[in-house]
Amino acid sequence: MTNISIIIVTSDSGKYIESCLDSILSQDFKEYEIIVVDNGSKDSTIPIIRNKYSNIILIENLENFGPCKARNQGINKTRGKFVLCLDHDVKLLSNFLTNIYKAVESRNGIGAVGPKILMSDGKIIYSAGIHFSYLWRFHDIGDAKIDMPEFWHKKYVAGVSAAAVIYRREALETIKQDGEYFDEDFFYLFEDVDISWRLQKMGWKILYTPDAACLHVSGKSRKKDKFSQYLSMRNRYLAIIKNESLFSLPKLFVIFFIYDLWRNMLMFITNARYFLRACYETAKLSKKMLKKRFI
């Protein structure tokens, strides 16, 4: 019986994939299937999976299509009532599957559940959900803080990190757009904000549960390289344009001049090439995002 379909996206993940898969296979909960979608790995990832994990469904892409498209490929192959997405460098702690399954199954109105995601030392929070601020900033709750009692209780949150999250399939079907669950225009970064936002707009609740915990070993999405800076700027604006109420959009211009202007000026000075690319692509994709509001 398949209750949970687990999707892992890999790309030159040979350093981490065994730890990730072994942590799944060691769980007491066994009602799952595993689908690995590989984005053009050139390292040992594919041989490791073929030689050690023959029961895993493997989808091989010849190039890196990005996490969004790869997750969509995986979801389209799943059979489970729930879909668990994991980064390739996530290691599940004991009883993770049992506890996250109980949390998402507990109420029909829950569309997604995020676990407590810890750094590799198991003491520092990576994410305990995502907070949407009034300045349209999107922050991981507890980011870089010591795991303290404030993170030990279940609570509803605005969003959850795509590094480790379980979705109710029924909920995913309600937000499917143009055949996509994750919006492939995002490539990666802020795709978890977008999908959480859409779930809420459709009336689904999003829960954070500390009962299920995992380690996020490398935290690549937190790197402050110039390419990530460009995607972060571009995708933040696209998520706002796509999901915020039309009546609230004028507030964006006020926030831009009060909060964003100096940040964008700094990015222009330090990263002009990608700043201009982000501006161009935001403008180019804005019409498409506005259209998606009504799909």
Q: What is the pLDDT of residues 63-85, one digit of tens each?
A: 999 999 999 999 999 989 999 99
- Residue 185: which pLDDT band, with cuts at 50, 70 and 90? very high
CA 152 to chain CA mean position, Å: 22
- Using the predicted structure, report yes or no on whether residue 245 has a pLDDT greater than 90: no
Residue indicated by tokens 């344009």: 241
Q: Give the contacts of 92 (CB within 8 A, at least 6 positions apart).
A: 20, 23, 24, 27, 86, 214
pLDDT of residue 217: 87
Tell if the pTM clears 0.85, that is, is over it. yes
CB atoms within 10 A of CB 65: 18
Alpha-carbon distance values, 196 to 182, 201, 222, 269 (Å): 10, 9, 19, 33
Which domains can be identified in the chain, with CATH numbers? 4-222 (3.90.550.10), 226-292 (no CATH)
CB 162 within 8 A of CB 75: no
> What digits encode the pLDDT tens for the residues 7-64?
999 999 999 999 999 999 999 999 999 999 999 999 999 999 999 998 999 999 999 9
3-state helix, strand, coil in the chain (%, to 5): 40, 25, 35
| Ramachandran sector of residue 270 (left: φ over 0; alpha: ψ -120 to 50; beta: rest) | alpha
If you average pLDDT over every residue of the chain, what do you get?
92
17-25 and 45-52 are packed helices; what angle lies between their axes, rounded to 10 degrees? Answer: 30
- Using the predicted structure, report yes or no on whether residue 177 has a pLDDT greater than 80: yes
pLDDT of residue 271: 84
